[in-house]
Amino acid sequence: MNRTLRCLAVAGLLLASACARAEAPFSFATTPGALPKDVVPIEHVVHLVPDAAAHRFRGEQRVLLEVRRTTREIHLHALELEVTSASLSGNGMPRTVLGAPRVDADKQMLVFTPPRALRPGRYRLAMAWRGVINTAAEALFLDPYRSPAGERALLATDFEPSGARRLLPCWDEPAFRARFRFSVDLPAASTAVSNMPATRREPVAGGLVRTTFAATPSMPSYLIALVAGELERTEGVADGTRIGIVTTEGKRASAAFALAAAQELLHDFNGYFGTPYPLPKLDHIALPGGFQGAMENWGAIIYNEATLLVAPGGSEQSMQRVYGTVAHETAHQWFGNLVTMAWWDDLWLNEAFATWMATRASNRFHPQWQVWLDAALRRDEAMALDARPTTHPVRQPINKESEAESAFDDITYEKGAGFLRMLEDHLGEAAFRDGIRAYVARHRGSNTTAADLWAALGAASGQPVAEIASAWIEAPGFPLLSVDARCEAGQRVVGLRQSAFRAEPASARASAEPSTLWRVPVRIGTAGGVGGESILLDGASAEVTQRAGCDDALLVDPGNVGYFRVRYSQPLFDALLARWPALPDSARLKLGADSAALLQSGQQPLASHLALMARVPDEPRLAISSRVLSDLALLGGIADEAAKPAVRRYAIGLLKPRFAALGWSERAGESSEERLLRPRLAMALAEADDAETLVEGRVRFARSLAEPQSVPASMTTAVAQIAARGADAATWEQLRARAERALATEDKFRDYGALAAAKDPALAERTMALATAVEVPQLVRHRLLAAVARAGHREAAWAYAQAHASALLADVKRYDNGKTFAAIAQGSASAAMADRLVAFAQAELPADALPEIRRTEDEIRTRARLQARLLPELKAALGVTPL
């Protein structure tokens, strides 16, 4: 049942509390999914024998299962598995050989039909099968890499949301929890890691060694993990839990940062959640090749190596990335693993919470990184998506698992996390934490819906949390708060009015659509920091009396925690601008972001926004400078050929004084933010074709080939990018050779990624050829064409992708098909490019890829309309004379 659509179908203004009541707490019986609920697994005892050379494996298992209602059939998931034998026994039934199962290809299920109906009780289902080891990083796969000893490969797994059915026949939906006891036969040189510690290693026939693991707690199948190969483990302890950083051989030295972070975080999270981490060990495993990102498998988290390892002397960017990722995945050990969303429509429960918790932890242990400001930038990107018609609610109906794969997007992660941030601010830190503790304690080892979380937070805070949450989670979009004020008897009366914020000037049709009303938690303070109590705007408009008087400038949402935009009346806006440098960092960031969003939606003149951007040379905060860089990218994205040189000159004029003050080299005593800003400014100047920066970057790159230490770690990516941007064939070749020699995944990503920045069309052609070259790591191959497109060669990259479509499609994971092609077209402002993207997708891609394609199409068409509206204003502002 699509609850959201039912709610939105109500005409006129709508307070979404009725929708919140529609969502029920978790109940196994009513949880969506395709599996019948009359047979449930209790324990799988699984034995696997991989044959890596043949890309095949054999498996066998005994499943203890419970029949809850008399049934004639046993349904369970399997995909690309060939079952070779099966038998059933128990509940008074002797061992009975089962006939070949019926295959329901559409549901990816096997259906066994025993000779007699099964009465309620416990049974053992035994079976054997054969399956496939993949080359793309999905299900059970081989992960190739280069080691000092030569070419190697790890065996690894990645299952979320529905890959486990490609390893073993199982009940592959998150509400079907079971225990898993694994054993695996591997060559003697291999070490195997799984969710639980190994309990035994013994030689078996064929020169293999059998590793047996302890039983997992009851858990969803998507959390199963198995990694094997020539591994080494660096170990520490936190609160009695053994913490391991597992790498391929020879990389132990790069594990130290992650180990310290993992220990610190586990201890902190044990305290926050109030329920200690329940497994005896927690491994963090670095995969060197084609696996992207990280996956929170219980007790055995996998990462791409570049998001886990930091080489000795590595950059602060790397540390920040690794710390945030380890924190996110560690948070999932509770939020996701110990307590799991009932169905994929509540995926955001897992992801939004882990995203919020990671920022909280990074801020706590590394305040110098100013991560809340960074999180606000990511939230702003989600808001840009969320203001367009192709957005979706955080909680969205998922009919089958293939739809779940498209739910892993910025709305799920960042809007969800943004809402939790706003909610915590409103409820108070202690009440929010107490609610989370109660929720984890109550639902540990089970599943939940959002309603369970709201109930716990509501009980802890005494606030109507379900009502507050409903519109933010169940409806698409977010509000714009229009703010004005008047002074009465020395007190300021603040007027607030909410309306749905739209990315573009509303058409007559859109204006006539029913609009959601949100319950908006909002703080109303002043520029000087007075006041700021959180109130709840729960109607279309409200008036609030501010006792602080009328002298200081009014400041709405001073902490920038609101998932909404603010539009001040002109006098209020001018008063804030007059106090600009003294405003809190969070407020300067929000004013700039709101101004950029209002500019794009046709509610703010370009000149006002340029006046805000012009303040960046004096801006101390990295995140605010980064925001201005994205404004410059926006202007570059809508500039036509006539306007491009003027936009570049404008960018250079804005950025160069700040970069000149920072210099190319790190200085003793500088802040983290200065160290992180330097490379971003340098790369932006190179992108604007600043001749001096391009020359200096090339000189520094040439020197670094002989003396790697001559470029500080924080600048190696920027120097490689800048050298590549202005590269000749010899420089391009030097960079390519360094990329090929590199052993660390991070270094390979850096150098291959830099090659794509080349401005020379001939070099862009050579870079594109690498997108189908086997010696290039798979993840890099997938991203190269999009990077070449961004560097100014979009037409050429699209043409290359068309000419090599079948090779590219065969190379990527099936659900990345849409993303790979969408990314090439993405930055375009051409409606013709949108047409070509859609035509290609309809002809060549599976239907599941279309939502991603539609979002990108929408983004391109929105940019094309923005160009039509804004370009004349931009040209006038920058003094571009007609050609």
Report the residue number, 138 or 594, with the smaller CB distance to Zn ion.
138
Report the residue number, 354 or 727, with the smaller CB distance to Zn ion.
354
Q: Provide, rounded to whole angstroms, the least separation between the CB of residue 133 and Zn ion.
A: 25
Calculate ∠ Cα 253-255-258, nearest 5°: 150
Q: Provide, rounded to whole angstroms, the least separation between the CB of residue 356 and Zn ion.
A: 11
- Which residues does 313 contact at the CB level (< 8 Å), separation at least 6? 713
Q: Provide, rounded to whole angstroms, the least separation between the CB of residue 342 and Zn ion.
A: 17
Report the residue number, 228 or 300, with the smaller CB distance to Zn ion.
300
Report the residue number, 178 or 354, with the smaller CB distance to Zn ion.
354
Report the residue number, 211 or 447, with the smaller CB distance to Zn ion.
447
The residue annotated as part of the active site, out of 23, 329, 673, 852, is 329
Q: Provide, rounded to whole angstroms, the least separation between the CB of residue 616 and Zn ion.
A: 33
Q: Provide, rounded to whole angstroms, the least separation between the CB of residue 336 and Zn ion.
A: 7
Q: Considering only residues 533-592, where is the footprint of Zn ion by CB under 5 A?
A: none
Report the residue number, 351 or 410, with the smaller CB distance to Zn ion.
351
Q: For residue 810, count other CB atoms closer than 10 A to its CB.
A: 10
Q: Considering only residues 135-164, where is the footprint of Zn ion by CB under 5 A?
A: none
Q: What phi and psi, each to the nearest 5 degrees, are found at residue 283? A: -100, 140
The mark string for 5-24 relative to Zn ion (x by CB under 5 A, - otherwise) is --------------------
| Helix-, strand-, coil-residue percentages of the chain, each rounded to 5 | 50, 25, 30
Whether the CB-CB separation of 142 and 155 falls below 8 Å is answered with yes
Give dist(CA 355, CA 418) in Å, integer: 9
* DSSP helix/strand/coil, 386: helix
Q: For residue 367, count other CB atoms closer than 10 A to its CB.
A: 11
Query: By CB under 5 A, is residue 354 in contact with Zn ion?
Result: yes
Residue nearest to Zn ion (CB): 354
Identify which range of 353-361, 362-370, 532-540, 681-689 contacts Zn ion by CB under 5 A.
353-361
> Would you state the structure tokens that stand for residue 39, as one six-digit string?
């047979």
Whether residue 775 lies in the annotated active site: no
Give the E-state strand segments of 162-280 in sequence order. 179-187, 191-194, 198-204, 208-213, 226-229, 231-238, 241-248
Q: Provide, rounded to whole angstroms, the least separation between the CB of residue 332 and Zn ion.
A: 6
Lookup result for tokens 């309603």: 451
- Distance of CA 714 to CAs 54, 220, 305, 653, 673, Å? 43, 41, 18, 24, 11
Q: Considering only residues 312-351, where is the footprint of Zn ion by CB under 5 A?
A: 351
Q: Considering only residues 68-87, where is the footprint of Zn ion by CB under 5 A?
A: none
Report the residue number, 351 or 631, with the smaller CB distance to Zn ion.
351
Helix (H), strand (E) counts: the chain: 30, 31
Q: Provide, rounded to whole angstroms, the least separation between the CB of residue 512 and Zn ion.
A: 39
Q: Provide, rounded to whole angstroms, the least separation between the CB of residue 300 and Zn ion.
A: 15
Query: By CB under 5 A, is residue 286 in contact with Zn ion?
Result: no
Q: Provide, rounded to whole angstroms, the least separation between the CB of residue 635 and Zn ion.
A: 34
Give dist(CA 287, CA 167) in Å, integer: 19
Q: Provide, rounded to whole angstroms, the least separation between the CB of residue 328 and Zn ion.
A: 5
Report the residue number, 352 or 556, with the smaller CB distance to Zn ion.
352
* DSSP helix/strand/coil, 826: coil
> Would you state the structure tokens that stand for residue 455, as one six-digit string?
């109930």
Residue 390: which of 858, 759, 876 has the closest Cα?
858
> Would you state the structure tokens that stand for residue 589, as one six-digit string?
């960031």
Report the residue number, 354 or 823, with the smaller CB distance to Zn ion.
354
CA torsion 719→721→723→726, rounded to 10°?
-150
Q: Considering only residues 664-693, where is the footprint of Zn ion by CB under 5 A?
A: none
Calculate ∠ Cα 567-573-576, nearest 5°: 125
Cα 841 off chain centre by: 24
Report the residue number, 264 or 329, with the smaller CB distance to Zn ion.
329
Q: What is the CA radius of gyration of the chain?
A: 28
Report the residue number, 351 or 859, with the smaller CB distance to Zn ion.
351
β pairing state of 339-341 and 446-448: parallel
Q: Provide, rounded to whole angstroms, the least separation between the CB of residue 244 and Zn ion.
A: 20
Report the residue number, 140 or 354, with the smaller CB distance to Zn ion.
354
Q: What phi and psi, each to the nearest 5 degrees, are found at residue 819? A: -60, -40
Q: Provide, rounded to whole angstroms, the least separation between the CB of residue 351 and Zn ion.
A: 5
Whether the CB-CB separation of 860 and 826 falls below 8 Å is answered with yes
* DSSP helix/strand/coil, 738: helix
> Would you state the structure tokens that stand for residue 271, as one six-digit string?
């305290």
Give dist(CA 594, CA 566) in Å, integer: 6
- Distance of CA 79 to CAs 37, 60, 62, 169, 294, Å? 20, 15, 18, 8, 23
Burial of 226 from C-beta contacts in 10 A (0-12 / 13-18 / 19+): buried
Read off the amino acid at residue 360: R
Identify which range of 28-36, 354-362, 453-461, 715-723 contacts Zn ion by CB under 5 A.
354-362
User: Total number of residues binding Zn ion (CB under 5 A)?
Assistant: 2
Beta bridge partners of 835: none
Give dist(CA 570, CA 573) in Å, integer: 5
> Would you state the structure tokens that stand for residue 745, as one six-digit string?
């995944």
Query: By CB under 5 A, is residue 786 in contact with Zn ion?
Result: no
Give dist(CA 369, CA 154) in Å, integer: 34
Residues marked as catalytic: 329
Task: List residues binding Zn ion (CB under 5 A).
Answer: 351, 354
